[in-house]
Structure 1
């Protein structure tokens, strides 16, 4: 009965669920696992803290896309200084390319652990597959594929119940923070927040709302149609963000319960986490973890590459959209190909993918602050949103997210400066 309902459920969910699932990509899995391995369950409270802020900012992003019919970068281009927009887009593309490199590397390593062969060969294969999906599969057919891939994230829920977990300790650490005044602690918080509240997700969800409008083949619609769509956006975003943070919670619990307890405090990749789990949690838990890495990578890499392409194309006013044929938006698709090829190529260099990933998450955390502030200002302007400006609750939590992210970044820089002196 439940299985029969899944296809119906997938037809009714939209960009919010895919966005939430894409947040738990292989690089996110590595960051969450590292947090669990390094601090046990001591950072679980960040999942609880970030949820309302994540919901608010993704809701704002989606509303902007649906109401204006334009993506985040296109709106910022009209209402912010060009230098600000170009700086944000540049940093977004850099962070996304690093994320792509880490995700494809993790997918290749996970498949190598499962079936053997060369991890570089697998990485190239995954790079080619993700490029072909985006360039030759139109959005109306790509969206259902991405929705189906979200179901693989339940592997991490199942894996947690295959190991011994001190649930009383988990509940305690979820609601009572264990604060440490060290740079490593605050850098991990910024990395977690940068992984959870990632700028590429703002760009992606807004642009997918625009794609949904294009599929309808109509304009913005009547006021009644917009309100109906905004109710769907709200429901979709709530489901997607709850889902995303729930999966992050289970991954951190798994890292804390298995790796931290076993004295394994340094995880260099998601694939290494899967390998470390094998002797401690069993082959089935390993298979679930490794399979989840591959499936979520196939979901996340197109989101990362496409969000970079949307940002660049909108910033320069180029034709864009995954529903367009490649010859109708050559520069848009060129960004997708370049970001994926460069990301795949980074796996053949001496760059440490985990260190690059860590700094990518930190960059995301830093860049998110001004972009979130820009989005909140846009969402509150009647000249942009008309009758559909953000409500009071969304406004409070959206600006609260800006403050929380900004405070974490300041604390990180403070400790780095103090250590340097």
Structure 2
């Protein structure tokens, strides 16, 4: 019964934690401009994150060590520091976007300018990471994020032309050029396969003391939770395609992204979606900040995690504090949080091979994995994704420059 409860709660947590500010913004932008013609990218991204999250969870359960703890040991300090630098930069930029997203949700709820909320969001996030137990932290904010299912309910209430939505799957709008189309495809893939998710997932497995007996728990989190989270992403895109695409209106603010829910479900729906967006972005704030602390501490061999008292992991908690302060400071410069989110997605896409190659290598190393190394199918799929992610990484920055970030 205890294991069944852990599986069920883990699935719910994965669903709530999948949709962060990147998925919210990217899917709403794409739905408004391209309809459902980029839905295939979400499917590719969900399969990819499931593939590598399963590997990272298996690594944590079998070896008792998280992925980044093995990166320096397996790749060496020089290659490891390149991986560390790229992943930390992307995670820090993502953290700033998440803090901005949570603050924007509070602005919509209260009418108080989001910049005034930024210090409070950052402080509360640090306080939660300092004081709240890992399992309680994940469950509370993950489950609250489930409120975002309101997008799926709103889509049904809007009564779209389902045939029209289905037709958009294979027919992108003619007004948009190919470079812009592929720029947003890259951004969507970056949103679905954000690097911090894998580092957080494997470190979280160690925090929760997974063993080989818990492989079923890890896989249930991955293969049920992430796909259902992907369905929420598709619902966000479909809502935007239903409301904005017919009138050729673009989504430029978080409030506009929530508008379809208000139109479909009224004030109650709008209140629920604001709650869901805040919970999802604040939960992602915690996950991203912890990922920064995990990666740096594991690379340098410091004591880390919430299983030990903060005084025994002082450097880990110092990294958490510094990264939260830096991310909040970036948003306080008045840079547009939505723009930060868009750039974080592109840089995330560019860094994907550095993030996932070590996972694939370690999952194939019998010294760490014993008889739990990848099978042939997993390796074939992993190799395909590494080729795909390498192409995406090469194309990401040139596409951003050529399209002026999708304009």
- Both proteins in one fold, TM over 0.5: yes
- Does 2:350 match 1:355? no
Distance 1:415 1:145, change over 3 A: closer
1:139–1:414 CA distance, 2 compared to 1 (3 A): closer
What does residue 189 of structure 1 align with? 185
Tell whether the 8 Å contact from 1:183 to 1:416 is kept in structure 2 after alignment. Answer: no
The match for 2:146 is 151
Q: Tell me the distance in 2 between the aligned counterparts of 1:314 and 1:73.
A: 6
Is 2:201 the partner of 1:240? no
Find the partner of 1:260 among 245, 265, 289.
Answer: 245
How far 1:30 sits from its partner (Å)?
Answer: 1.1
Mapped partners of 1:328, 1:163: distance in 2: 53
Tell me the residue number matched to 1:98.
Answer: 93
SS of 1:264's partner is coil
Q: Report how far residue 342 of structure 1 moved.
A: 1.8
> Which residue, 298, 301, 322 being the options, matches 2:285?
301
Question: Contact 1:113 / 1:275 at 8 angstroms: preserved in 2?
Answer: no
1:10-409 → structure 2 map (5 Å cutoff) = 11-13=6-8, 18-19=13-14, 21-174=16-169, 176=170, 178=172, 182-213=178-209, 226=212, 228-265=213-250, 267-274=251-258, 278=262, 282-409=266-393
Deviation at 1:14, TM superposition (A): 6.2
Cα distance between partner residues in 1 of 2:292 and 2:13: 16
Normalized against structure 1, the TM-score is what?
A: 0.87
Query: Structure 2 CA distance, aligned partners of 1:406 and 1:72?
Result: 20
Deviation string, structure 1 residues 28-52 (Cα, Å, up to 9, x no partner): 2111111111212211121222232
Q: Is the 8 A contact 1:36 1:253 kept in 2?
A: yes
Question: Within 2, Cα distance between the matches of 1:8 and 1:60?
Answer: 21
Determine helix, strand or coil for the equivalent of 1:213. coil
Provide Cα deviations, 1:205-235, integer angstroms capped at 9, x if missing partner: 1111111217xxxxx5xxxxx2x32222222
Q: Is the CA contact (8 Å cut-off) linking 2:17 and 2:142 kept in structure 1?
A: no
Per the TM alignment, residue 16 of structure 1 is displaced from its structure 2 partner at its CA by 6.4
Query: Is this contact kept in 2: 1:23–1:195, CA < 8 A?
Result: no
- Contact 1:17/1:240 (<8 A) preserved: yes
Gaps of 5+ in 2: none
Superposed CA offset, 1:136-170 (max 9, x none): 11224323324422422322222222223222233
Does structure 2 conserve the Cα–Cα contact (< 8 Å) formed by 1:43 and 1:177?
Answer: no
User: For the residues of structure 1 that align with 2:171 and 2:79, how far apart are their CA atoms?
Assistant: 35
State the alpha-carbon separation in 2 of the partners of residues 145 and 417 from structure 1.
40
Checking the alignment, whether the CA contact within 8 Å between 1:10 and 1:144 is kept in structure 2 is: no
What is the count of residue pairs matched by the alignment?
A: 402
Report which stretch shifted further, 179-188 or 44-53: 179-188
- Which runs of no fewer than 5 residues in structure 1 stay unpaired? 215-219, 221-225
Worse overlay, 150-159 or 178-187: 178-187
Decide whether aligned partners of structure 1 residues 106 and 27 sit closer, same or farther in structure 2, where only a CA change above 3 A counts: same
SS in structure 1 of the partner of residue 258 of structure 2: helix
State which drifts further: 195-204 or 45-54.
Answer: 45-54
Distance (Å, rounded) in 1 between the aligned partners of 2:237 and 2:37:
10
Match of 1:223 in 2: none
- CA RMSD in angstroms comes to 2.7
1:338-397, Cα deviation, whole Å (9 max, x unpaired): 222222222221423222221111111111113212211111111221111012232222
Judged with a 3 Å threshold, the aligned counterparts in structure 2 of structure 1 residues 367 and 244 are, in CA distance, closer, same or farther, namely: same
